Every structure is written in C-alpha cells, then in structure tokens.
Chain A
Amino acid sequence: MIHQSAIVTADLLGKDPGWLIIVKTLLVFVFLVIMVLLSIWGERRVVARMQMRLGPNRVGPFGLLQGLADGIKLALKEDIVPKAADRIVFILAPIISATTCFMAFAVIPMTGQVSLLGRKTAFQLTDLSVGVLYILSIASVGVYGIVLAGWSSGSTYPLLGALRSSAQVISYEVAMGLSLVAVFLYAGSMSTSDIVASQDKWWYVVVLFPSFVIYTISMVGETNRAPFDLAEAEGELVGGFHTEYSSLKFALFFLAEYVNILTVSALATTLFLGGYRALPGLGFTERWLGGWFTFVWFLAKLLAFLFFFIWLRGTLPRLRYDQFMKFGWKVLIPISLVWTLIVSTLRALSLRGAPTAVIVGFTGGVVLILLVVGSLFEAAKRKEQEALSSVITKPSHFAVPQLPMSISTHRVPSAPSRSMEATDE
C-alpha cells in the first residue's frame, strides 16, 4: 500500500511536461524568497515580543515590508573586496551558498495530488529514490560557501569562523544521518514522497521520538543558528565567516541562511510530522476543500518549526565551542547509534512476525540495560569528580597583579595637586 501511493507520486511527476516543470521551479523559488522575507520580519517581531519590545512596525502594514526594505538597502551599499582576499574564491563563496540552498527544496513534497494549470500533478519538483540523502549532500556542498568565505577573506576572524563551521557541520551531519536511519527503516524507502505516504497512520514523531529529538538538535547545528551559531559568534569573532562581506554578497549569505532554515524545517516536517498530511482527525479537509488544502497543513508545520528556531534564538545563550563539540561527539552520536540498533532490531522482529511477547521482552531488556548502564555511568562520574576535587589546588595566578587592598584610589587626587605646584614654580 505504501509503495503504491509512492509510485503514484513518482509517476505523476514523471508525466510533467517541460513547461510545467519550469512553472513549478519558479513557484518554489518565489515561495522560498517570499518566505525568507516574511521570516526575517517574523523573527524580528517575535524576538522583540520575547524581549518586551515592539520590533519593526514602520514599513508597510505591521512592518511586513521591513525585510524587503532592508534587502533593497543592502543591495545598494558599497561592495568591498578586501585587498588581502583571494578574489575569485571570495566572489564564488556566496554564490555557492545561495545556489545550493535553493536546490535542496526540489525534493520536498508540499502537497498531495493537485491540479495545476489543468494538469494533475503534485507540488513537488522532482522525486528521487534517494531524496533525503540528496538533501544531505546538497547541504554538505552548501557548507563550502561558508568555509570558503572564511578562508578567502584573508583575515583572522573569518578564518576562525570557517574552521568552526567546517568542524561543526562534519560532526553534526553524522548525528543527523544516524537519526534518519530509523525513518528509512520504518518507511522502507529514502524517497521523501514515500516517507510521507508511509505516515498515513502514525507520524514518525510518535513512533521514533528519539530520532526526532536528535534530528531537531542537529538541524540547528547544521544551519549555524543560535544556540549553535559559533561560526558567526559576534561576541568572539566579530561577524565570523562573513565579517569581510558587504552589500549583495552579504545579502546572499543572509538569504542562504534563511532558506537553509526553511529546508531543514521542511525536511523535519516531511520526515517526522507527516509532511502535507492533515492533523489527526482532520483528514476530511482534503476531501472537502481539494488537494491544494494539503499545502496549508504543510505550511502550518513549517511555520511551527520556524517559530521554534526563533524561540531558541530568543531563549538560549550560545554554547562554548568545546562543549558544543563534546555534545555532538560524546552525547548525540552514541545515543543515536544505540537507538539505531534498538530500532533495527525491533523492525526486524516485527517484519519477521515475531510474537508480541518477544518484542515486549526485548524492549524490557533494553530498558533494563539502559537503566543499569546509566546508573553505572553516573556512579563513575561521581567518583571521578570526587577524585578531581581531592587534588590540592592553589589559587590561580592572574597575568595582571592583584590590586593590593591597602592602596586606596582615594589617595590619588593628592598627587596631581603636587604636580601643579611643581609646574607653577
């Protein structure tokens, strides 16, 4: 049943004539650009509300056109290429960032079967059998934009930002890929439309909740957003990788960042929240209002994720770099490895038609083992901390001498008066 509906989507898209593909490409592009403008406005307004401010409210109704105004202003600024920069790569970097981010959206299924300009099709540009991996690969090419921007600027802070970004993306892509494995196992496919089709009963956010959590954390890491925005940490690296960029080139990075947020949110919607499927119990909307109404569900879920991104930014402080890497390698990856093992065993058991008692027993055993390992881990950690605190410590020496408390700054004014006397004589 799952595979049948998937074949339907692939067949539908396969029959699209050339002009329809061009129309859909344009639609996707326009949708993304408008969403970026709106989400910049939305982000500023929501963060402002969270900080008890109003946010931009001057340009257009409710300040809706603020993003557009900023964009035009940015494009009209002077474009500076630093002398120390590697010119070709410096120009190439924002182009890589901005083109790859749009490409990933091609495989996102945004509606079920709809009629567009008199033809039956689905609002999805193309359907690949390895659609989700395709998004991952495009994302990994997109990182080149950031890394090359940092390197080619010929300046220290951007270089540090680029180094951080490359390390960050390599480490978080592993966790992200592992979290997707469970979804592939349950859907039996890597195509985005198949995965949405297989969620007709239960969304994977319910079935595979740990995968969802891991994916959500690593998608924030992938997009360089707060609290994982170490590549552009303004407190430490001025602007990070885009410190030396101005005008349109900076605008391209800005655009790429927001399109990337949209893409990972859309992927999360597709993989875990049932894509364009209606909320449970509201399936009648599609039958009553037609196929295009499914787009509303997709958009609602996408906006929920966008709000989540903004919420994170308004709430959490930036992580320290070493803590961030430690979290990725020592927490996320081991957890997702263990989870993948558990899921694949469960999946194999249920596919082979194992009796319920076996499945329940296996699950109970896993829980028991996890509890034992967890408590052992805690005990070991406590022991280590005790050992550490028993080491004799001496107060740390600062590079600057301590101010002796005996000297009071109040005594200083007496000195200048002496000097005045001296010059008078």
Chain B
Amino acid sequence: MNTLALSAGLTGAPEAVLFWILAPLIVLAAIGMILVKKAVHSALLLAYIMISLAIFYIAQDAPFLGVVQIVVYTGAVMMLFLFILMLVGVDSADSLVETIRGQRVVALLAGLSLGALLIGALGRSLLGAGIAGGAVGLDQANSGGNVQGLATLLFSRYVWAFEVVSALLITAALGAMVLGHRERPVPRRTQRQLSEDRFREGSELPGAPLPSPGVFSRHNAVDIPALLPDGSPAPTSVSRVIKARGDVLPTAPFELNKESQGEQK
C-alpha cells in the first residue's frame, strides 16, 4: 500500500519517516509471530501488526478504515482469540498433528491466490490510472469525505457483495448457535425455584442456605476428630501425639445419623 504511495510520489516527509520506522518493526513482529513458542505471545504480536497497519491506513488518509481495523480486528476478533487461548492455559504446548486432512495444501493454495489477488489489485491501481474503472487518486475518492465516499460505494456499487457477505456471516453465527445448542431434558431450575424449594414443606431445614464449612462440628478441641461430609469421623484429623497418649475421645457421640448404633465403635 505504501509502496504505491511512494512510487506515485505522494508521500510527504513525515509519512516516509513513519513508514520507515513502523515497517521494519511490522516485519520483525510478523517473523516473531511465527517463531515464538507461546500462543499468547503470537497473538499479541499479531495484534501489534494489526494496530500498526491501522496507523498506516490513517496516515494514508483512510481514517475510517484504520479505526475500524482496530475496533473490529484488534478489539473483537483478536480478543476472542485471546479468550480461547487463555482458556487453553498458560503452558500448554501446541500439538503439531494435522487435524484436517490436506490442510497444508489448501492453506498454500489460498495463500498463493491471495498473493495473486493482491498483485493484481496493486498493478491495477499503479498502472491502470488511465483505463476506465482504474485508480482515480485520493483527492477524487475522498472528495465528498472519506466516510461518505466509502458509504456511497458500499451501498451502491458493492451492495450485492455486501449483502452476500452479511448473509454468510449470519449463516455462520446461526451455525455456531446450532452446534453449541444443547437440549435440556428437564427445564433448568431458576434461582427463584431453588429458593422456593428450600422453603417448601418437607425440606429438612426450611429456608436455610447451604451450610458453610464447620457448621456441623460439635466441638473445636484438638482431641476430637473432624467429621467427614458423610458424618463419619476423619481419623487423620487428630494429631498422632494425642492419639499415642490415648487422649482421643470415642468418636461415636460425634457421628451424625449413627447415634443409635454408634456405641460399639
């Protein structure tokens, strides 16, 4: 994009300085993105590249494109990527096994065709200044305002492509919802219903919330064993020394639900 401006002799001095500072950094970041080991670092470098590109766009008198690049790509898409990466975990290594067959071939083809497209578009704008539908220059393109110019093109000449892309996106969103949807055999109980259940007749402790730890301990002396969730005493909860001295109480009186048959223990 910038080479275009450079060759066309449109670049001012500040813009050239900006380009020569940012461009090497972008290339370094792009190489680093492939070479770094952690996925999150990779994602960060990619975000850096996106933001730098946006700065280029803004410097090239395309402020709307630049800002949208940051809002959509850096703000939403990369953030979703990070979201997933963080869920995967800090230290997880990527597996190098191909999960989709023929992935590399397809990726290579897609990359090559993208390159061809870019070269075609660049050549058209560099050389095709004279032919109909060719480049007309920034002044004419931005004559009614940058945003207004974009809007006019988007909603007149490219409205069909725009609608097709939006239909594709909506289909993808619907697909994600269908794939992520899970039928519940029984409707989910709401917080209100759970609360009503707790107060309903027949529940053991009407209105009580879930007991917090230690609620059922009936003594806090060191020589009395703690109770496990099923009501039985935890043998390891009393210190060995106390056990050796024979100071341990018979646990039976402290067991829950076993009051009647607990005497023999």
Contacts and interface: CB of A to CB of B under 8 A. Distances in A.
A141 B70 contact: yes
Contacts of B63: 128-130, 134
A412 interface: yes
B86 A137 contact: no
Contacts of A356: none
B24 interface: no
B86 A130 contact: no
Given A89-B44, A136-B71, A416-B249, A407 B256 contact: yes
A86 B51 CA distance: 23
Interface in A388-425: 388-389, 391, 393-396, 398-407, 409, 411-412, 415-416, 418-419, 422-423
A130 B230 CA distance: 64
A151 B71 contact: no
B76 A412 contact: no
B76 A415 contact: no
Contact of A170 (B38, B79, B253): B79
Contacts of A394: 197
B253 A402 contact: no
A388 B190 contact: yes
A166 B83 contact: yes
A104 B108 CA distance: 40
Contacts of B194: 396
A409 B215 CA distance: 12
B76 A140 contact: yes
A159 B91 CA distance: 13
A178 interface: no
A190 interface: yes
A423 B221 CA distance: 16
B219 interface: yes
Interface string A361-404: 00000000000000000000000000111010111101111111
A383 B138 CA distance: 60
User: Which range contains the number of B residues in contact with the other chain?
Assistant: 35 or more
B90 interface: yes
B226 to A, nearest CB: 13
B64 A400 contact: no
- The SS class assigned to the A binding surface is helix
A163 B75 contact: no
Given A395-B197, A412-B253, A86 B247 contact: no
Interface in B192-209: 193-194, 197-198, 200, 202-205
B2 interface: no
A167 interface: yes
B45 to A, nearest CB: 11
A129 B204 CA distance: 66
Contacts of A137: 54, 67-68, 70-71, 74-75
Contacts of A163: 83, 86-87
Interface residues of A, number: 58
B125 interface: no
A319 to B, nearest CB: 13
A318 to B, nearest CB: 15
B218 A412 contact: yes
B210 A404 contact: no
Interface string B48-87: 0001001000000001100110110011100110110011
A400 B75 contact: no
B72 to A, nearest CB: 9
Contacts of A261: none
Given A141-B75, A400-B216, A419 B247 contact: yes
Contact of A173 (B76, B90, B202, B257): B76
Interface string A137-153: 11111011001101100
Contact of A400 (B90, B229, B257): B229
Contact of A419 (B146, B200, B249): B249
A139 B70 CA distance: 10
Contacts of A150: 86
A229 to B, nearest CB: 19
A162 interface: yes
A154 B38 CA distance: 13
Contact of A401 (B76, B193, B210, B229): B229
A133 interface: yes
A169 interface: yes
Given A151-B82, A395-B202, A140 B187 contact: no
A369 B76 CA distance: 34
Contacts of A167: 83
Interface in B235-265: 245-250, 253-254, 256-257, 259
Nearest to A143: B79
B59 to A, nearest CB: 13
Task: Give me the 4 closest cross-chain CB pairs, A-B, nearest first.
Answer: A140-B75, A137-B70, A402-B204, A395-B203
8 contacts: A86-B40, A133-B71, A143-B79, A391-B187, A395-B204, A401-B230, A403-B216, A412-B218
Given A86-B90, A140-B70, A144-B47, 10 more contacts: A148-B44, A173-B71, A394-B197, A398-B210, A400-B210, A400-B215, A401-B216, A401-B230, A412-B254, A415-B249
